[in-house]
Amino acid sequence: MNLRGVAAIYRFEMARWRRTLWQSLVAPVITTALYFLVFGSAIGSRMSDMAGIDYGSFIVPGLILLSVLTQSISNASFGIYFPKFTGTIYEILSAPLSPFETVSAYVGAAATKSVILALVTLLTATLFVDVEVQHPALMLLFLVLIALGFCLLGFFIGLLANNFEQLQFVPLLVVTPLTFLGGVFYSVSALAEPWRTVTLVNPIIYLVSGYRWTFYGVADVPLGASILGMMLTILVPLAAITWIFRTGYKLKN
């Protein structure tokens, strides 16, 4: 295994992140803090509890995931698309690195950024609302799994993308709406039928529900379904990436 090669890419990606810290960390944290301020402190104080939890506290896990999902896709897709765009991808392709090592380095770096972002966002949330984490180890585990899954999805998008607009399409027009409709601001039980059933088609609901369970012990869907959702979030893009590296599609042709 070429661990030095993996470390070189990982360090390179983290250095790029540090160079753009305002854009990649400060801006999303401030945006999420505004959600806490508006929906948590201002509007939340006038709203009734959600699933027995203070509304401001209820939205914290979902808002963290909103930020993690979009940033995971953006970081990972940009990480691999930019070398394709500038042409420096030749170095990666000609190095003695296996596809697994290459993906591990890029996705590992992107997931690291997402986990740091989530933890900073969580700390920021405690400034505005009361936050309880009943299962801290599982909270971290789920966070890592979800970040990995969406970084893999981002990496896949970066491999396929032909321009910068395509990079933004999925996080802005697919993931963000699905996350907003995925139980970030409300419990599924608060919806009337048929919307309560329809919303279960949204895969994000399983992630938000599972992640919120690690905080407050309440969930909209069974925990097993959430774990299955996390596994699929990892396995589906992983299979697609494996196919791209095997065939060279959009990469070596």
Partner 1 sequence: MNVLEIENLRKVYAGGFEALKGIDLTIRKGEIFALLGPNGAGKTSLISIVCGIVTKSGGTVRVHGHDIESDYRAAREHVGLVPQELTTDAFETVWDTVRFTRGLFGKPGDDAYLEDLLKRLTLWDKRKSRMMELSGGMKRRVMIAKALSHEPDILFLDEPTAGVDVELRRDMWELVRSLRSGGTTIILTTHYIDEAEEMADRVGVIRKGEIVALGEKDELMRRMGRKTLKIFLETPLNAIPPSLSDWDVHLDDDGSTLCYDFDGHAEESGIPRLMRRLDESDIAWKDLTTRQSSLEDIFVTLVNEEKQA
Report if residue 253 touches partner 1, rule: CB under 8 A.
yes
Neighbouring C-beta atoms of residue 237, cutoff 10 Å: 23
Residues 98-157 interacting with partner 1 (rule: CB under 8 A):
98
- Which part of the chain contacts partner 1 (CB under 8 A), choosing from 6-14, 144-152, 163-171, 202-210? 6-14
Q: Smallest Cα–Cα separation from 237: which of 116, 115, 145, 151?
A: 151
Q: Which helix (H) or strand (E) holds 162?
A: none
How far is residue 15 from each of residues 52, 121, 214, measured CA to CA in Å? 43, 21, 32
> For residue 27, what are the CA distances in angstroms to 74, 132, 171?
14, 25, 16
Binding span for partner 1 by CB under 8 A among 4-12, 116-124, 141-149, 191-199: 4-12
- Write out the two tokens for 43: 């509007």
**Residue 248 C-beta: closest distance to partner 1, Å:** 4
188 binds partner 1 (CB under 8 A): no
In the bound complex, what is the minimum distance in angstroms from residue 8's beta carbon to partner 1? 3
The answer to whether 22 contacts partner 1 (rule: CB under 8 A) is no
Name the residue among 28, 12, 176, 240 with its Cα closest to residue 108.
12
Positions of E strands within the chain = none
Q: Which stretch binds partner 1 (CB under 8 A): 63-71, 87-95, 163-171, 234-242?
A: 87-95
Q: Is 242 in the site for partner 1 (CB under 8 A)?
A: no
Comparison of 87 and 194: residue with beta carbon closer to partner 1: 87
* Interface positions, 195-214, toward partner 1 (CB under 8 A): none
Between CA 76 and CA 86, with CA 81 as vertex, the angle to 5 degrees is 140
Least distance to partner 1 from the beta carbon of 29, Å? 23
Q: Which is nearer to partner 1, 47 or 93 (CB)?
A: 93
